Structure 1
Amino acid sequence: MTSNEAAPPPGANTGAAGAAPPGRPAAARVTSRDVARAAGVSQAAVSLVLGDKWRGRVSPCKAEAVRTAARELGYRPNLAARSLRMGRTRTVLLVVPVLTTEFFARVYTGAARAAADHGFGVVLYPSPEGIGPARNPFDSAAATLDGVIASSMAAEALAALRDADLPLVMLDSDPGDDRADATVNLDIADGARQLIGHLSALGHRRITHLAADVPSWTFELRARAVADSLHGVPGAALRRQPTALSVDAGLHAAHAALTGPGPRPTALLCDDDIIAAGACKAVRRLGLRVPEDVSVTGFDDLALAVAVEPELTTVRLPAEEFGEAGMRALMTVLDGRPADTPTLPVELVPRGSTAPPVDAPGNAARPGGK
C-alpha cells in the first residue's frame, strides 16, 4: 500500500456480499439501506420485495422501483446473514432416480434457475437405489436443507428424508399421495392418448406397447391411458411387451414383439425415446423399414429423438418448465402458503418414424415426403 492510499478502518466489511456500483469505492458494500434510499422506500419494503413477500404489503410500483434500484446498484444480499435471521440454509435437495437421463438434467436446469431467483441453491442427488428407498445423503438433512423436491419417485421411497420433517414437493408422482406438501405433474395420460390418436388416425390397429418395466406411478399411468384410449377403436388389438429402460433392452423387446406368434404389429408404441431407438434398430435388423413396415413412437422428445433416422414421432415433455414449477411450489410451501398443484401440458411431435400401416394406400410416403 502506498502512502497516499487510505487503509480501511478496523472491522470494515470488505467482503463481496454486495457489488460496488460505478463511482463507489470498491471496498464499499451496497446495502439494503442504499437500495431503499435509491428507490425512495423503507428498508422494510426492500426486505419484503427482495424476499418476494411484498404482495399486498407494497405497491407494484414501489416493488418495481426496488428491483430496479437493486439491479442498477449491483446489490447482492448477504445470504449468510439472512439464513441466520430466517433459520434457513437456503439450500434445496433435488432427488432423481438416475443422472444418465437427459430428462432429469433438464428438470434440474429449470429448478436451479427458479431457485436462483429466490437466492437458493440446489443440490442434485441421484438415489443410489434408483426409484427404491433414497437414503438421507447427510447426517441430518434437517440441519443442512430447507426442503426436498423429488422427481419420478414414490413418497415411500423418501422415508429417510421425510423423517427429517422437511417440506416435500413431488414431481411426476401420484397426486393422491398426501405425504407430499405439493405435487406437480405433466399430463402424461394425455400424451399417451395423443399417441394412440395419431396411430389410430393413420390406420394402425395392431399396436404393441413396449412398456417400461419400472414399478412407478408414471409408467403405470401410461399403460392405463394407452389401453383405455385404444379400447374404443374398432378392430384394435393391443399387446404389451415389458422392457428395461435402455437401447439394448428396447431392441430385444421389439425383436420379441415383431417375431412372436400371431400377426406382426404395425406399430410399436414405446414408453420413452431410448426404448424407441432400440426398437428402430430391431426393425432394421429384421430387414424391415421404419415407418413403411413398422411405425415407432417415443416419449420425452430427448435430443436422441432427432439423432436417429428417421426422426422419432414422440411426445415432448417441458422438462425445464417442470423443474421451475416444482421449485416455485416449494418456495410457496416454505413461505407457509398453500401451493398450486399444476399439471403441465405435453405436445405430440409427429416426425418421420410413423406412417400408415403396410396394407394401407400410400404407406410408402413418409409425412411431408414424396
Structure 2
Amino acid sequence: MSDPRARNGRPTSRDVAQDAGVSQSTVSLVLGGKWHGRVSPATARAVQETADRLGYRPNAAARNLRLGTTRTVLLVVPTLTAPFFGSVYIGAARVAARHGFGIVVYPPDDARPAGPAGNPAGSPFAVPHEAIDGIIASSMTQQALSGFGGTPVVMLDSGPAAAAPTVDFAVEDGMRAVVAHLAALGHRRFGHVAVDLDEWTFQARGEAVADAVAALPGGVLDRAAGSIDVTSAKEAAGRLLDRPVPPTALICDDDLMAAGAYKAARARGLDVPGDLSVTGFDDVQVAVAIEPELTTVRLPARELGEQGMSALLDLLEGGRPETRPLPVELVVRASTAPPSTAPPRT
C-alpha cells in the first residue's frame, strides 16, 4: 500500500485505520489509551505499530476541542522583571507538564493591554474561558482578575482572605525574623524600603515590620516606598538615609530593592554593613551576586508554583484545595552587622 505521507504530507487517523485494517474509532480507542476490554491486545498492538511506522501523532487541539478543554493554564504575575516570578513559573510548569498542561505567562502590570471597562488586568484572550482551563495568579488581588469571568482561579501569595483557593508564604514570620536578627545586633533605628503595590503580601510584610519594631524598647521605624526596581529603590532608600537622624538598618521588601539600597548607601559614602545594615526578601540570585552578600528571607518560589498548579488541578477535578502557608527561612549573610554606634541594650 502506498505511503499516505506521499498523498497528503501528514498521516491521519484514517490512514492508520486503513493500513491496520480497522475502523477509525478503534484507532481513537487505542491511541487514547481506552482500548482495554474493548479491543483485543493483538489489534491494539497492530494499531500502535502502524501509527509508529507512519509517524502519526494525534491532533491534541482537536481532541481537546471535543473534550471541551484546552489543557492550558494562565499564570498571571505582577511583573516579569523580578526573578522571583521566573522561579514560580518553573515550579508551576513542571507540575503542569507532568499532567499534559501548558502554561501561558501574563504580566498585566508590564503589558497593560486594553481590557473591559473597570478591569485593571485586562486579558490576553478575546474569550478567556474558551482559551484557558484555569488561572494561577501570583501576588495579585481577586479584583484584578475580574475580566476572566468564572474561570477557575488559584491565588498565590495573595492572602487568606482571597475569594479563591490560596497558597501563601508565611511572610509575617520572615519579617519578624529580620527585625529580631537586627535587634539582636543592637539596631533600634530602622528604615523600611517598601514596595508601592496594594497587595496582601506587601501589606503583610509592612504590618509585621511595624509591629515587631513597635515591640522593641526604643524602636523607631521610618518608611519610604518604591517599585521593584533598582533605580526606584535607590531613590526610596536615599530619602530614608537623608533624614536628620537616619536609620542604621534598611529592611527591603525585595532583593532587587536591597541592591538599590546598596547603591544609595555608597552614593553617600556609607559602608555596608559597617555604617548601614541592609536586608532583602525572596533570596533570588541577586542576593549572592552583590557584595557583600545579602541577608534575606528565603521564599520557596518554585514550591509556590508547584503547589499552586497542584491546587488548580485539584480544583479542575472538582476538589477543594486546602489553604496552607509555606514556611520561610531567614538566611544571614554579610550585609548585616552591629551598628557603628549601638544604643544601650535594655
Helix, strand or coil for the counterpart of 1:315? strand
Distance apart, 1:79 and its partner CA: 3.8
SS in structure 2 at match of 1:332? helix
Instruction: Map residues 330-341 of structure 1 onto 2, 5 A cutoff.
Output: 330-341=312-323
Task: Provide Cα deviations, 1:166-204, integer angstroms capped at 9, x if missing partner.
Answer: 1011111132122x2x11111111111111111111111
Of residues 241, 246, 268 in structure 1, which corresponds to 2:224? 241
1:107-127 superposed Cα distances (whole Å, 9 cap, x missing partner): 111111111111011111111
From 207, 216, 225, the equivalent of 2:199 is 216
Corresponding residue for residue 138 of structure 1: 125
* Residue 355 of structure 1: aligned partner: 337
Contact 2:77 2:140 in 1 (8 A): yes
Residue 169 of structure 2: aligned partner: 186
- In structure 1, how many angstroms separate the alpha carbons of the residues matched to 2:183 and 2:70? 52
1:275 matches 2:257:
yes
Alignment of 1:44-193 (within 5 A): 79-80=60-61, 82-127=63-108, 128-129=111-112, 133-161=120-148, 163=149, 165-178=150-163, 180=164, 182-193=165-176
Q: Relative to structure 1, is the Cα distance of residues 313 and 77 closer, same or farther in structure 2, using a 3 angstrom cutoff?
A: farther
Paired residue secondary structure (2:250): strand
TM-score, with normalisation over the residues of structure 1?
A: 0.75
Q: Distance in 1 between matches of 2:257 and 2:79?
A: 16
More deviation, 76-85/215-224: 76-85
Q: Secondary structure at the match of 2:244?
A: coil
Output the TM-score relative to the length of structure 2. 0.80
Asked if the contact 1:154–1:173 (Cα under 8 Å) also holds between the matched residues in 2, the reply is yes
Change (3 A) 1:30 1:119: farther
Distance of 1:35 and 1:143 partners within structure 2: 23
- Per-residue deviation at 1:81? 5.8
Ranked by relative contact order (alpha carbons within 8 Å, sequence separation 6 or more), the top structure is 2
Counterpart code for 1:135: G
Q: Which amino acid aligns with 2:123?
A: N
Question: Secondary structure of 1:105's partner?
Answer: helix
Equivalent residue pairs, number: 306
1:106 CA displacement: 1.2
Distance in 2 between the 1:8 and 1:256 partners?
A: 72
CA shift for structure 1 position 339 = 0.9
Counterpart Cα distance in 2 of 1:138 and 1:243: 31
1:228 equivalent to 2:228? Answer no
- The residue identity in structure 2 corresponding to 1:351 is R
Please tell me the residue identity of whatever aligns with 2:133.
D
SS in 2 for 1:329: helix
Residues 36 and 43, structure 1, Cα contact 8 Å, conserved in 2 = no
Question: Quick one: percent identity of the two aligned structures?
Answer: 52
CA distance in 2: counterparts of 1:158 and 1:102, whole angstroms: 22
8 Å Cα contact 1:33-1:43 kept in structure 2: no
Query: Matches of residues 9-48 of structure 1 in structure 2 within 5 Å?
Result: 14=11, 33=30
Distance 1:148 1:35, change over 3 A: closer
How far has the Cα of 1:146 moved from its partner? Answer: 0.6
- Alpha-carbon contact 1:97-1:129 (below 8 Å) kept: no
Contact 2:298 2:329 (8 Å CA) reproduced: yes
**Aligned-pair distance for 1:279?**
0.8
Q: Which moves more between the two structures, 168-177 or 346-355? A: 168-177
Q: Kindly indicate whether the alpha-carbon contact (under 8 Å) linking 1:191 and 1:347 is maintained by their aligned counterparts in 2.
A: yes
Within-5 A mapping of 1:273-312: 273-312=255-294
Letter in structure 1 aligned against 2:144:
A
2-structure distance, mates of 1:356, 1:304: 23
Q: In 2 relative to 1, CA 31–200 (structure 1 residues): closer, same or farther, beyond 3 Å?
A: farther
Instruction: Tell me how far apart the structure 1 counterparts of residues 85 and 342 of structure 2 sit (CA, whole Å).
Output: 39
Question: Residue by residue, what CA displacement relative to the aligned partner does 1:90-109 show, whole Å, maximum 9, x if unpaired?
Answer: 11111112111111111111
Q: Which of 298, 304, 319 does residue 301 from structure 2 map onto?
A: 319
Q: Which has the higher helix share?
A: 2
Cα shift at 1:214: 1.6
Give the drift of 1:142.
1.0
Shift of 1:336: 0.4
Q: CA deviation at 1:14?
A: 4.3
* 1:330–1:100 CA distance, 2 compared to 1 (3 A): same
Long gaps (5+) in structure 1: 17-28, 45-75, 362-370
